[in-house]
């Protein structure tokens, strides 16, 4: 059993990766307050707004694709350094552009950082966490994301109130995007104090270094047992990345990638990216729309804490099913309200129910489950595949939402999102096993 000192050391290590989640959330959500201002500054139509909003997501796709190879070759910690640098560079460049092309390039660089972080941070936490705490520690990454989203929405609201509309169109969005440089610098400093993943060190044959890190978190018996378990699973797996597509890995691959696709096509980033626009379209003024968006971020954060509290007690499957049911009814309500022409206050309640349901279930558990189910030898590259899948899905949603919203209308669009949540319920029942309380090696053997 770990001592209090070792618990603190373990929490610090996972909290560093959680900071990567914070930057992920900040960079993802900062566009929410800026997109209507960018639309005016660059004179964008619906397709142009979609490109501006999704420009960071485009960078996420190659970022996720290369992250696994980089982290397997150079280690989780060095790649975390790279993400911090990319976030900082993107923040500075995003505050300076005078043309749309310059803006898209700056956001693309940040997107590469998000794509890499989305793969490396969950893997790092999973590989550092003991089985009985992995659920709570693993969901800290999602908490970092939603905390980043919430803080960003609050910063956007603060900056929006510094001047009138003309000032915001010319300068406000620059301050919103540029402020990310400060948490990026903090992230760099924290990484320097964090250890390397002990499982990655064992994969490299650096057993003594891995044991020294494990001894910070536990006693000698536990550290030795963990190293032997890791070595045993590594010895059982020979081959290359293509093994992931063989029959024996088909079920975990479908389960993990399926959850990632459902997580995005249920419409979460339509809310995260466009909630200000959604509330404005329902009749709220710009200031009220900003305030409603901050409330959305707060609910997202609170119910992620619910997931952290119960994921190792209730398990992954029950939370997923309850959350997806809540999402279905909430999104159906949003669709009906838009179809009937609703008041913004009623719409806000429905959106908050959706956010709460997402935050306590598939939001954090999608990342957690994917980081748990892949074989140790291929976990980095397999998580790259999962992250690649989620960012392609995210890009489709971010790019298509304003086009669908203008084309088929908000009501029909949200009916599509509701249908995805309904499908997700049956997918979890059929394809997703319970992983609560199992070590990564036990999960691997169970497949």
pLDDT per residue over 351-388, tens digit each? Answer: 889 999 998 888 888 877 877 777 666 666 777 787 78
- With 50 as the cut, is the pLDDT of residue 16 above it? yes
What pLDDT is recorded for position 440? 62
Kindly report, residue by residue over 195-248, the tens digit of the pLDDT. Answer: 888 888 888 888 888 888 877 777 777 778 778 877 776 665 545 666 667 777
pLDDT above 90 covers a percentage of the chain that reads 16
Structural domain boundaries enclosing 151: 4-194+237-446
State the SS3 of 347-361: HHHHHHHHHHHHHCC
Q: Cα separation of 418 and 148, whole Å? A: 26
Provide the pLDDT confidence category of residue 286 given band limits of 50, 70 and 90.
low
CATH code, 27: 1.20.1250.20
Three-state DSSP at 98 gives: coil
Q: What's the Rg (C-alpha) of the chain? A: 21
Kindly report, residue by residue over 48-76, the tens digit of the pLDDT. Answer: 877 887 788 788 888 878 887 888 888 88
Can you tell me which residue has the tokens 């009623």?
A: 346
The answer to whether residue 435 is domain-embedded is: yes
The answer to whether residue 229 is domain-embedded is: no
What pLDDT is recorded for position 108? 92
Kindly report, residue by residue over 372-382, the tens digit of the pLDDT. Answer: 777 666 666 77
Tokens of 116: 């890499």
Q: Cα separation of 175 and 37, whole Å? A: 12
Nearest CA to 389 among 254, 243, 250, 257? 257
What pLDDT is recorded for position 33? 72
What pLDDT is recorded for position 377? 67
Higher pLDDT, 69 or 445: 69
What average pLDDT score do residues 390-399 get?
A: 79
Sequence-ordered list of residues with C-beta below 8 angstroms from that of 163, at least 6 positions apart, any chain:
171, 172
Phi and psi torsions of 273, nearest 5°: -80, -35
The answer to whether residue 213 is domain-embedded is: no
The answer to whether residue 123 is domain-embedded is: yes
> Domains in the chain: how many in total?
1
CB 10 within 8 A of CB 129: yes
The answer to whether residue 372 is domain-embedded is: yes
The answer to whether residue 219 is domain-embedded is: no
CB 364 within 8 A of CB 142: yes
Q: Cα separation of 275 and 271, whole Å? A: 5
The answer to whether residue 380 is domain-embedded is: yes
Kindly report, residue by residue over 415-425, the tens digit of the pLDDT. Answer: 999 999 999 99
- Kindly provide the b/e burial profile for residues 164-193, where b requires at least 16 CB atoms within 10 angstroms of the residue's own CB: eeeebbebbbbbbbbbbbebbeebbebbee
What pLDDT is recorded for position 5? 38
- With 90 as the cut, is the pLDDT of residue 175 above it? yes
Q: How many CB atoms lie within 10 A of CB 59?
A: 28
The answer to whether residue 351 is domain-embedded is: yes
Q: Cα separation of 243 and 163, whole Å? A: 57
């Amino acid at each position: 059993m770990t001592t209090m000192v070792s618990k603190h050391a373990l929490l610090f290590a996972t909290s560093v990766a959680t900071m990567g989640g914070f930057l992920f959330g900040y960079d993802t959500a900062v566009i929410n307050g800026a997109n209507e201002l960018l639309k005016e500054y660059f004179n964008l139509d619906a397709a142009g707004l979609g490109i501006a909003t999704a420009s960071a997501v485009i960078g996420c796709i190659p970022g996720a694709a290369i992250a696994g190879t980089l982290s397997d070759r150079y280690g989780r910690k060095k790649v975390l350094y790279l993400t911090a640098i990319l976030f900082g560079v993107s923040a500075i460049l995003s505050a300076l552009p005078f043309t749309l092309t310059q803006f898209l390039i700056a956001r693309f660089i940040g997107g590469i950082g998000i794509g890499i972080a989305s793969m490396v941070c969950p893997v790092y936490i999973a590989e550092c966490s003991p089985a009985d705490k992995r659920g709570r520690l693993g969901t800290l990454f999602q908490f970092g994301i939603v905390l980043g989203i919430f803080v960003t929405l609050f910063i956007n609201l603060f900056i929006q109130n510094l001047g009138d509309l003309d000032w915001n169109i010319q300068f406000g969005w620059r301050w919103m995007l540029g402020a990310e440089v400060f948490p990026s610098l903090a992230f760099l400093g924290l990484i320097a104090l964090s250890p390397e993943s002990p499982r990655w060190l064992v994969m490299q044959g650096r057993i003594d270094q891995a044991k020294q890190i494990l001894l910070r978190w536990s006693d000698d018996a536990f550290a030795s047992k963990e190293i032997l378990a890791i070595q045993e699973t590594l010895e059982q797996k020979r081959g290359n990345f293509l093994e992931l597509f063989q029959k024996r890995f088909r079920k975990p691959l479908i389960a993990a990638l399926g959850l990632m696709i459902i997580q995005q096509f249920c419409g979460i980033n339509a809310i995260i990216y466009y909630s200000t626009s959604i509330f404005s379209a329902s009749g709220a003024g710009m200031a009220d729309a900003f305030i409603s968006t901050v409330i959305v971020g707060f609910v997202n954060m609170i119910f992620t804490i619910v997931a952290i509290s119960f994921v190792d007690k209730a398990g992954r499957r029950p939370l997923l099913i309850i959350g997806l049911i809540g999402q279905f009814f909430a999104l159906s309500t949003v669709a009906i309200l838009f179809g009937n022409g609703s008041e913004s206050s009623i719409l806000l309640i429905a959106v908050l129910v959706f956010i709460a349901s997402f935050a306590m279930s598939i939001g954090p558990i999608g990342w957690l489950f994917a980081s748990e189910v892949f074989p140790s030898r291929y976990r980095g590259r397999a998580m790259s595949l999962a992250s690649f899948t989620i960012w392609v899905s995210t890009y489709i949603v971010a790019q298509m939402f304003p086009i669908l919203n203008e084309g088929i209308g908000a009501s029909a669009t949200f009916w599509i999102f509701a249908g995805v949540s309904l499908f997700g319920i049956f997918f979890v029942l059929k394809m997703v096993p319970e992983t609560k309380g199992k070590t990564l090696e036990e999960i691997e053997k169970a497949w």
